[in-house]
Amino acid sequence: MSEDKGTLSWLSLLAKVGEWLALPLAYLFFAGFLYQYYYFSALGVPTKLADIPVSFFPVYAFSVFMDNWVGVLVWITLVLLAALLASRQVSWGPVALLALLLVAFPGCWWIARERGYREALRLRNGYEGRRVSFVLSDESPDGTTNNGRQDYPAEFRKANDEGKLILVTETTRAYYVVWQIYPNPPEAELPRATLFIVPRSDIKLVEVKLDSVDNIRPRRQDER
């Protein structure tokens, strides 16, 4: 009988923990989805084609929240305080708790959107991402395919030869790479960028350029 009671107590505890975690997990998935949506959309990659597993959303959310950890800690403190007041039968405690829980959704949307756009801009600026070069299959020395058709534009071949393609993401079917035109020194804003989708079936070899192990740091303007 005592063993049955012990089992029930553990199950009750696990059920209670599950109830406590349900709402935080909802925020994590919400913020993670919004982050990857705005990040990829800012780079021209359709979200449904990015092939991101749902299990990755909390990982993205962790990055989002750690970038705004002060605000998150303040919000958690206020939620705990409102919950304490509600448990003490304070009349306005439940209203304050509900308001804090509801305001978290537009808050998650705002910080996830800003983080996504900012990370996309950092990639275009050359501070994030990896440089890649492709050896394409069935390509002749002049850049044409065997049937003479120009499958890839001249700017892609030039950026590929010079190692200026930046990897955005890869899926089981294709690589998504960006070629960014950098501004002249007097100009502040980045000119246009071009997104290329390179099917894996067209690729014979992929070269990924890594930073030196002894000198891993963000690339400066003159290193792009």
**What is the tens place of the pLDDT at every residue in 118-167?**
999 999 988 888 899 998 886 555 555 544 444 788 889 999 998 899 99
Range with the lowest mean pLDDT among 11-25, 63-77, 156-170?
Answer: 11-25
Q: Answer yes or no: is pLDDT of 190 > 90.
A: no
Neighbours of 149 (CB within 10 A): 7
The model's pTM: 0.73
Q: Give the start-to-end residue ranges of the domains of the chain.
A: 2-125, 130-223
